[in-house]
Structure 1
């Protein structure tokens, strides 16, 4: 009975996501890209469908969705608008972190209930001037005065910061703490200000609206999560990020492949009884997409199995070998994605190169190229190089 209920919930969530993708993400995707604007229509529809609280446990009013279901939703959204999918993925990273590491905390437990009711959109503030995209270091520090805290962070980017309802922020635990001794703090819309310090005029993922901001915030010390951010990062934030982003990447790749399929079918219909020369290239392309999906799915299945085990599994999730595996997934997937889109472009030819045809690959390619830069692959490979120096042989 429990399995049937879970299956029914997953089907409902995916049906809702498909409706949002079809009716709200797709019609506005080109405008979001061209105007570099937030996909407000799709995000409002996600809120209306209560998909922002999908991962919140059923006991608190949420759908109790699994990570696999969220990855599927990202895939569905990315086929129509990669920016919408990425906003959804980044929001869910924050929700999952709260659920997995602060569910028993009274303040956060109430917040999750409120999230279900109000569908708050949560953004992440981990980047900072002086440390760049190094999530595990902070310059800023929490300043605690009695039951209150204050915090100022000069962020190099906050994706959809201006549109978010709340922010999850990394900072040093206190002014004398080392830059790697970090806390994670949720700050509420009414308690922070953002001063925009630049623009977001990029090649792709233009709808994520990720300019730099100077953030100033205050609040109750109950909003400072008790678990050190280092533990949350290894066990949850990094693997979940790579897996949810993986859903976005497979969706973006599928969008390009589907256009190539439609193009080849059109050629076949125009010349009945013959196999178009592009059909061979299409077969290769589908194989590339399958490999990408298989890689993401294999890591997703393993992560969910490890997460479902007792606390002994946390040692595996925090191990060097597992960190290398998840880092390699990110690097390999983001190298494969642009190649898939380029191959789809080559199949469709000039019609894919033009911006005003139904086979255009421009947005897909530009969005795909961002994947290598979201936590840059060079930074990840440098981390891997250091880890490999201390990893023991199998």
Structure 2
């Protein structure tokens, strides 16, 4: 457990920084980012300048040395203003944590210090089109060639694809494709020959993510870019990737839900109802809907924060809360954004409205791996004392 992870003063300071950037930068750019499908460079640069991109980097290397609860709080604040920026920040934070989990002195100087200084953005590149939600079953392969490692294959839905400075990628040695416990992770730097980025991201929501596919055509990297020991990365999946990824995503969707609740509440307070002579907020049935939305958001926030604090404390039951938190936030954010659309009426249904954007962005909560179905399967199997894989 990191002592700093539970410090309320530090947590509130970081929350305040994220909130200020969210209001001053992310909110100003959110509409254009969504409409143009533009990667949120300005927002991420502001977060880097404020030191937040080094959230999980050790203090001795210039980072914030924070844990899961800080990630939950910050991604929520960012998600309230621009979910694309929040998603890119979340994926960077998870990848940075993977890079630091078993870092060598080479990793510290080459990746971690630049991240802490705000000079390096990273991202995850684990998913493949052939394995769907089973991101822990890569088919991309690697082999050793002298002092180099060579990667072949493809990756899909790489957040910040073609924009980040490095990517945490997974691959297996030839013949190990069907063994989920023996894949290997690597840090692959942008501009490495053989990285061939595919078409630009055209998503239903989260349109600024640059979530692109990439071909790995004899991508040659230094052997020093190996993360951990060869073939042991199933450890990364459940000890690093899963908890940090789940909390980052849960925080983003929680922020979307809070934004939808705020927008719907403001609409009801401001919209005049000519029949009654007052505002829509005075209609009893609408107040009931707002109450249900507020309860849903608060309940899910408590579950997410419980999971994050349990993870920071090293609680043996953390996995149960983690699985539940992302499954629950997916159900909650789709419910809340739908209710916000109903409460906003024709104004909300208008093309490119604020509520419409939030509703589109919320849909990724169920389909982004680990999907809701997979998480509920893992949760159920855990409760029944069955292996996850």
TM-score (norm 1): 0.86
Give the superposition deviation at 1:194: 2.9
The alignment status of 1:331 with 2:327, answered yes or no, reads yes
The alignment status of 1:371 with 2:373, answered yes or no, reads no
Q: Deviations over 1:167-192 (max 9, x none)?
A: 100111x2243442111111122434
In 2, are the aligned partners of 1:87 and 1:208 still within 8 Å (CA)? yes
SS where residue 63 of structure 1 aligns? coil
5 Å matches for 1:1-394?
A: 6-99=7-100, 101-103=101-103, 105-110=104-109, 111-172=111-172, 174-179=173-178, 180=180, 181-216=182-217, 217-227=219-229, 228-267=232-271, 271=278, 275-277=282-284, 278-306=286-314, 316=316, 323-355=319-351, 360-375=354-369, 376-382=371-377, 391=386
Give the superposition deviation at 1:41: 1.6
Q: Deviations over 1:286-327 (max 9, x none)?
A: 111111112211211211111xxxxxx6xx37xxxx545432
In 1, are the aligned partners of 2:306 and 2:321 still within 8 Å (CA)? no
SS where residue 283 of structure 2 aligns? coil
Which stretches in structure 2 are left out of the alignment for 5+ residues? none
Deviating more after overlay: 214-223 vs 191-200: 191-200
RMSD of aligned residue pairs (Cα, Å): 2.7
In 2, are the aligned partners of 1:192 and 1:215 still within 8 Å (CA)? no
In 2, are the aligned partners of 1:132 and 1:156 still within 8 Å (CA)? no
In 1, are the aligned partners of 2:5 and 2:70 still within 8 Å (CA)? no
For 2:5 and 2:35, locate their aligned partners in 1 and report how far apart those are by CA, in whole Å. 43
SS where residue 219 of structure 1 aligns? strand
For 1:126 and 1:390, locate their aligned partners in 2 and report how far apart those are by CA, in whole Å. 27
For 2:170 and 2:9, locate their aligned partners in 1 and report how far apart those are by CA, in whole Å. 37
In 2, are the aligned partners of 1:127 and 1:155 still within 8 Å (CA)? yes
Q: 1:310 is matched with which residue?
A: none
SS where residue 372 of structure 1 aligns? helix
Higher RCO structure (Cα 8 Å, ≥6 apart): 2
Q: Judging changes above 3 Å, is the alpha-carbon distance between structure 1 residues 300 and 130 closer, same or farther for their aligned structure 2 residues?
A: same
SS where residue 151 of structure 2 aligns? strand
Give the superposition deviation at 1:73: 1.1
TM-score (norm 2): 0.87
In 2, are the aligned partners of 1:82 and 1:205 still within 8 Å (CA)? yes
Give the superposition deviation at 1:387: 5.7
Give the superposition deviation at 1:379: 3.9
SS where residue 366 of structure 2 aligns? coil
In 2, are the aligned partners of 1:126 and 1:133 still within 8 Å (CA)? no
Q: Judging changes above 3 Å, is the alpha-carbon distance between structure 1 residues 5 and 344 closer, same or farther for their aligned structure 2 residues?
A: closer
SS where residue 132 of structure 1 aligns? coil
In 2, are the aligned partners of 1:193 and 1:215 still within 8 Å (CA)? yes
In 2, are the aligned partners of 1:71 and 1:246 still within 8 Å (CA)? yes
For 2:6 and 2:386, locate their aligned partners in 1 and report how far apart those are by CA, in whole Å. 43
For 1:5 and 1:292, locate their aligned partners in 2 and report how far apart those are by CA, in whole Å. 20
Give the superposition deviation at 1:280: 2.3
Which stretches in structure 1 are left out of the alignment for 5+ residues? 307-312
Deviating more after overlay: 112-121 vs 378-387: 378-387
In 1, are the aligned partners of 2:72 and 2:304 still within 8 Å (CA)? no
For 2:309 and 2:272, locate their aligned partners in 1 and report how far apart those are by CA, in whole Å. 38
Q: Judging changes above 3 Å, is the alpha-carbon distance between structure 1 residues 247 and 118 closer, same or farther for their aligned structure 2 residues?
A: closer
Give the superposition deviation at 1:88: 0.6
SS where residue 208 of structure 1 aligns? coil
In 2, are the aligned partners of 1:268 and 1:275 still within 8 Å (CA)? no
For 1:352 and 1:178, locate their aligned partners in 2 and report how far apart those are by CA, in whole Å. 47
For 1:382 and 1:296, locate their aligned partners in 2 and report how far apart those are by CA, in whole Å. 19
In 1, are the aligned partners of 2:348 and 2:355 still within 8 Å (CA)? yes
